[in-house]
Amino acid sequence: MRRNVEHESARAHGRHPACPAFGACGACQTLDVPYEQQLIAKQRAIGDLFPDAARADAIRPILGMEDPAHYRNKVVAPYVAAPARRGVQASRGAEVRERDRRCARGAARRREQVPCKGQKGGGSRRGTVLTGMYAKGTHEVIPTEGCVLENVEAKAATLAVRDLMEKWSIPPYDEDAHTGFIRHVVARAGRTGEVLVTIVTNGDAFPSSKSFCRELVRRVPSVVTVVQSVNERQTNVILGERERTLYGPGFILDELCGLRFRISSGSFYQVNAVQAEVLYEAAIALAGAGPEDVVVDAYCGTGTIGLVAAKRGAGRVIGVEAVESAVADARQNARHNGVEAAEFVCADATGFMQDMARDDRLAVRSGKLVLMMDPPRAGASPEFLDAACALRPDRIVYISCDPRTQARDVARLVEGGYRVAVVQPVDMFPHTDHIENIILLEQMFYGFHEDDG
């Protein structure tokens, strides 16, 4: 996306009236570009990616947001010691780890009443802990008190955790020394107004966790549940492999396309629920599945789009997902919404498609077979695409968070006997360079399309 010299100058010096951190953090790239111009540039980018595969009239106008602010319902906040404290924390090494273990054994004590050795109880130590965004391509934290992109309540929860860390002298994690306690907070907000806070810690024991949670909820009443995720590995992966619920049910509920979905700490869920609804409604309309049709929802995650398709009248939906916990959430979501026409299989999508194509188990006697696919950013494997062509669904609805890999995959599907009927871009991430895109492919018959006569 091209920008004029004035925009580039603003970026270079981090100046923007809506965000003092713009130009320093890596969260948004185009905040300095008027939103209408962002949409025009994204529309042009999609047209440039599909010059041969689609007719010009197949590319529909991009679906933008009415209010492109505070749309990110998931806020990931790292915590680090302020520079003056960082060297002190790093130098403690094994001594600090031993002290933390001793503190853990005193978990029954309230920290504000009986502080662990080496910690100050009671009074606030403002400015000793930083939280915010990473600078682009680094692990340097740019402190922020607000963000144009992030949900206000979720951001407030991350700041409240910071303040409580300072009040009770809870040390932030130091990735070089592998010391400290709180590494990250992942706050997820539903349109229901509920907020889930996941606190990622460098160890199991969380002294006075009940007091901590009570104070957090008092400060941010929208927080309805708090989960501790334990991550003791030296890794860039945020969430740990073990977790426990500290407060509330351990999940929140959100509403999307008239259904309610359970969101837990590890659930995949679109970070822009407003535009996710726009995306799913557009994709399901393009699929056009009716009561006699079968929909295969590949890479289905927690089953959101497949469940909406079933609720909109698809006769049968089969969701396929390799992550077992996501499949469990999908089945729970189906039960919670009373959707009986959807089933979910824990399997590799490529292997599932190959088996179905080989055994012809999805032969549809009346109606259509529709494939809906939403693969990871890297796109689908050649084996998956070949199996899709062998299965011969009447329609393929391909949703992608990276139109470049989508263009590569679509070219292979066109070679396999499909034509691009519709290209529908959706702006899921305003003020960034990212574009979500939906493509409808229809089966060709003997070199011509059925609508051609």
Which residues have a catalytic role annotated?
401
| Residue type present at position 16 | H
Q: What DSSP string describes 267-282? A: ----S-HHHHHHHHHH
Q: What DSSP string describes 107-160? A: TTS-TTTSPPTT---SS--TTSEEEEEEBTTS--EEE-S--SSB-HHHHHHHHH
Q: Which residues 6+ apart lie within 8 Å of 274 measured at CB? A: 65, 71, 191
Per DSSP, the three-state class of 237 is coil
How many CA atoms are closer than 13 Å to the CA of 233, on its beta-carbon side? 10
307 near 331, Cβ under 8 Å?
A: no
Query: Which helix H or strand E contains 45, and what residues bound it?
Result: helix 35-49
Helices 382-391 + 403-415 axis angle, to 10: 40
311 near 257, Cβ under 8 Å?
A: yes
378 near 409, Cβ under 8 Å?
A: no
Partnered with residue 316 across adjacent β-strands are: 294
CA–CA distance, 176 with 278 (Å, rounded to integer): 43
Task: Calculate the CA dihedral of residues 255, 257, 261, 266 and round it to 10 degrees.
Answer: -100
Question: Nearest to residue 201, comparing CAs of 168, 166, 161?
Answer: 161
CA–CA distance, 381 with 393 (Å, rounded to integer): 18
Q: Which residues 6+ apart lie within 8 Å of 405 measured at CB? A: 377, 378, 379
How many CA atoms are closer than 13 Å to the CA of 92, on its beta-carbon side? 17
- The torsion region of residue 35 among left (phi > 0), alpha (psi -120 to 50) and beta comes to alpha
Per DSSP, the three-state class of 265 is coil
Per DSSP, the three-state class of 99 is helix
412 near 385, Cβ under 8 Å?
A: yes
Question: Nearest to residue 161, comparing CAs of 83, 93, 217?
Answer: 217
